[in-house]
Structure 1
Amino acid sequence: MVTLDQIRAFVAVAEELHFGRAAARLRMTQPPLSRHIQKLERAVGVTLLERDNRRVVLTDAGRGFLEDARRMLSLVDTAGDRARRIAGGAAGTVRLGFTAVSAISMLGALLRRLSEELPDIDVLLHERVTDGQVEGLLRGELDLGLARPPFDVATLDSRVVFREALCAAVPEGHPLARLGRPLTPGDFAGLPVIGYHPGQARYFHELTVRFLANAHPRIEQQVHQILTAVLLVAAGRGVALVPASARSLGIEGIAFCDLVRGGGDPLHEGAAGEPVELHVIWDRNSTNPALARVLELLPDREA
């Protein structure tokens, strides 16, 4: 069996081409150094060094073995350093779940910051709706998620990392788009509205129901994702309430309108009422050291 001590002994002799100098470099005497070389040659099965009383010369096999031996020692040194960096959270892997709209609002900025400040942490991306992210965290498939509430607070920790306005997406040329003012709940009375599934898209379902509670619109579709709602609006199937970041989806044939709850109170970032929140969620029992370092770089919008 080849040992690291034998490899280090061989590299020292091969570089010094002198047993005395190699022994001094390794802070050992010549007899054990010679035994390391002999055991290495027996293990490899070839002569690596030609030596007599006057000189030490590498054989062709020895020159080839020297290249590999140097790589092995370098790998051992860097492996130890990497292990220490992983234990300290400066290196490693974080598996991040996200939704399409969360990607628009902050994923790009987050990935750029991680690349700049924690370049040795690999971020593996998984596009999943919120329920899929929660399941992934509980099964150990994800380390972190960018998702919408509510969450199981018994096992998951969360905090707000982004807030934005709720707005209306309407087809271009729609009467609501021509009003030229922020829309009130009453403006949606009797109109076809694309709603959200109460189970699979609970957060936006509740935001929509709460805003339109007294408007009595016609809910004609219930979708799971913001992107689907916006595409249906573009197809003329109704209007929808969406987060302001949906404006960046770049889908043609849509106008976006601001909202007011009533009494002129706008639905804007930080307003009392129902701003749209994006949370970062993680398993509070996670043992991934890199997760803690990533969380340190995330914004905190709880206040």
Structure 2
Amino acid sequence: MFSLDQLSAFVAVAEELHFGRAAERLNMTQPPLSRQVQKLERAVGVRLLERDNRRVVLTEAGRAFLTEARRLLALVETAGDLARRVDQGAAGTLRLGFTATSAIRTLGPLLRRMSEALPDVDVILHERVTPAQIDGLLRGELDLGLGRPPVDSRVLDSRIVFREPLCAVVPSNHRLATLDRPLSPSDFADEQVISYSPSQARYFHELTVRFLADSHPRIEQRVQQILTVILLTAAGRGVALVPASARNLGVEGVTYCELAGSGEPVELHAIWNRDSTSPVLRRVLAKLDDPSIPSEHQ
């Protein structure tokens, strides 16, 4: 088996066709350079160079071997560069979980910034509700999630990346759509409300319960996804509370109404396992602070 030093020695001699110039190029003396080439030839089992006191020329085997030697040396250099870039978080893979509504305002800008600043980072996307994201983070299936609070701070870290108002969505022909003012909890008295699963959409379930606590609505539907809530509203199955960015989903047949006092703000958090050692994750978390990504102030 030959070594990288032997390959480097051969390539230098093959390109210079002169042992003295090759030795100078490699900052070594000529005798050890000659020994490296001889060891390489013994390892390969063929003569790669013809040399005498006047000239050095490549054999046919030497010309073929030179191409592969250059390729091997380039591969080693590339592998080292890749390892350094991965260690610095500039290359590698990020497994990113997101909810459907996080994709409306936050996911797109984040992916664009990552593509520009970290072009060698491959992002594998996983659409999951928040509890499934948290499960994926704990199992090591995800590196980062874009989900809803709360999280278990004993094992997970989180950071707010977007904050927006809560609003109501009602059928376009509903009486609440004609009030032309922010809606208060009392406006929902005796209304049929589409709410959220207490287990799979706990965050929006609790926002809905807190806002409507004293209005005694009729809750007959509980679902997981905000898009499903809006589609059921468009079908006339009730009214609901959703984040303001849901307006951008483009569902027809519904009207969005402000809430009196704006209700509680809806938060989107970046969530990650606090024990993660991923260099890519560290670089991506830094990108979450980029001003071009919609933030809680927008």
Tell me the TM-score normalised to structure 2 length. Answer: 0.91
Helix, strand or coil: the match of 2:262? coil
2:269 alignment partner AA: H
After superposition, give the CA deviation of every residue in 1:58-84 in whole Å (9 maximum; x if it has no partner). Answer: 233322322222222222223223323
Change (3 A) 1:64 1:251: farther
Matched, 1:266 2:262: yes
Secondary structure at the counterpart of residue 100 of structure 1:
coil
- Cα distance in 2, alignment partners of residues 38 and 215 from structure 1: 91
Segments of 5+ residues of structure 2 without an aligned counterpart are 290-294
In the aligned structure 2, how far is the partner of 1:147 from the partner of 1:24?
60
In the alignment, the residues of structure 1 paired with residue 56 and residue 240 of structure 2 have an alpha-carbon distance, to the nearest angstrom, of 82
Q: Which runs of 4+ in 1 moved over 6 A?
A: none
* SS of residue paired to 2:141: coil
Report which stretch shifted further, 167-176 or 38-47.
Answer: 38-47
Does the 8 A contact of 1:159 with 1:301 survive in 2? no
| Cα deviations by residue, 1:30-55 (Å, 9 ceiling, x for unpaired) | 33222322222333333322333322
Match in the other structure for 1:43: 43
CA-to-partner distance for each residue in 1:146-201, whole Å, 9 max, x for gaps? 11011111101112111001111222222221222222212222222111000111
Q: What is the CA–CA distance in structure 1 between the aligned matches of 2:44 and 2:124, rounded to whole Å?
A: 41
> Distance in 2 between the 1:251 and 1:50 partners?
78
> In 2, distance between residues paired with 1:179 and 1:301?
29
Identity %: 72
Aligned partner of 1:13 in structure 2 is: 13
Question: Aligned residue pairs: how many?
Answer: 292
Alpha-carbon deviations, 1:186-240, whole Å to 9, x = none? 2222222111000111000000111111222221211111122122222222222
Q: Is the 8 A contact 1:200 1:224 kept in 2?
A: yes
Unaligned runs of 5+ in 1: 268-273
How far apart are 1:301 and its partner, in Å? 4.9
Alignment of 1:107-256 (within 5 A): 107-256=107-256
Q: Map 1:3-82; keep pairs closer than 5 Å.
A: 3-82=3-82
Deviates more, 1:97-106 or 1:61-70: 61-70
8 A Cα contact 1:196 1:222, kept in partner? yes
Alpha-carbon distance between aligned partners in 2 of 1:141 and 1:266, rounded to the nearest angstrom: 36
User: Judging changes above 3 Å, is the alpha-carbon distance between structure 1 residues 229 and 38 closer, same or farther for their aligned structure 2 residues?
Assistant: same
CA deviation digits over 1:263-289, x for unaligned, max 9? Answer: xx233xxxxxx1000111111111112
